[in-house]
Amino acid sequence: MSYDDYRDGKPLIVTAALTGGVHGKEANPSVPETPAEVAEAAAAAEEAGASILHLHAREDSGERAFSAERFQELADAVRDATDDAIVQHSTGGTAAPDALRAEPLRTDPAPEMASLDMGPLNRYRHLTSENTRALVDALHEEMRARGIKPELEVFNGGHLNEALRIREELAEPPYVNLVFGGGTTTVPSPRNLLHMVENLPEGAEFNVLAFGPHQLPLTTMGILLGGHVRVGLEDNLYYDQGQPAESNAQLVERTVRIAGELGRPVASTAEARELLGL
């Protein structure tokens, strides 16, 4: 969790956020949507060096799906297509009823990891993902009961307070995803990344997620700070300015290449499990 970790060659965990639920093929035709498409993208991302696969389920029309059945179909396809990658389900769901938010945790087997939003997030002009403390606690309780490691989604600095609120209940080490972008996420800048890292809960491992054009520079900085990184079409539709990304694997390959140039080894799936206490 520091520059010393980078210097010591701590393995870098790469998460591939393959599809998401905000945008889809209407934004970039390369975004995988169906279980078969996501599974193919997952296999390519794993081959490229990703050890965690972050999943959202969709309907055939590309619209969001939250049911355990839809996540089951997706997770089964991904597990069949991949070697040994860690499956992480999203429990995010702007405007979706709280009762649906736990559905992605109820597959068989349960996902090894799941996202756990730490607080509110604005969307569009009128929507908010409220993520009340009551919902956060309920999701966390179900994760613990099912042996699922939470990835704490810290959308802004205040959400570090929320992570501290549940610090004692978290399995070691806490895994904190620092989110940078527009709206109610942290303003994307190197200084803010440093600030967020300095204020992490004691003992936490951290991941850097930055939207759009910030994905490349801030994840690279995360590599140097001893953190881990998430890339993929959920967060960034472009490889370069005006150049749509061709695939999730293309974005993972670039990160792996940069890590190699910087002398940071990329974690195998076994190493990722060890680092995260899975």
Residues that bind another protein (CB under 8 A): 17, 20-27, 29, 58, 60-64, 90-92, 94-97, 115, 117, 121-127, 129, 153, 155, 177, 179, 181-183, 185, 209, 211-212, 234-237
| Cβ closest to another protein, residue 11 vs residue 111 | 111
Q: How far is the CB of 261 from another protein (least distance, A)?
A: 26
* Pairing status of strand 127-129 against strand 121-123: antiparallel
CB 152 within 8 A of CB 176: yes
Shortest Å distance, C-beta 182 to another protein = 3
CB of 15 to another protein, least distance (A): 12
Nearer to another protein, 6 or 249 (CB): 249
Tokens of 70: 């839809």
Tokens of 171: 């399995």
Q: How far apart are CA 72 and CA 27, in angstroms?
A: 26
Closest CA to 149 of 98, 110, 190, 108: 110
Nearest alpha-carbon partner for 21 in 36, 30, 33, 29: 33
Q: How far is the CB of 197 from another protein (least distance, A)?
A: 19
Contact 82, 43 (CB under 8 A): yes
Q: Among residues 226, 225, 232, which one has the least CA distance to residue 255?
A: 232
Q: Which residues pair with 55 in a beta bridge?
A: 89
Amino acid identity at 185: T
Judged by beta carbon, residue 51 or residue 215, the one nearer another protein is 215
Nearest approach in angstroms of CB 92 to another protein is: 4
Length of the chain: 278
Q: Do 229 and 223 meet the contact criterion of CB atoms below 8 Å apart? A: yes
Tokens representing residue 118 in the block: 């730490």
Give bridge partners of residue 209 from the DSSP assignment: 179
Characterise 182 by phi-psi region: left (phi > 0), alpha (psi -120 to 50), beta (else): beta
Smallest gap from Cβ 2 to another protein, in A, equals 25
In the complex, what is the shortest distance from the CB of residue 180 to another protein, in angstroms, rounded to a whole number?
10
Closest approach of another protein to the CB of residue 142, in Å: 16
Q: Which residues is 133 bridged to in the sheet? A: none
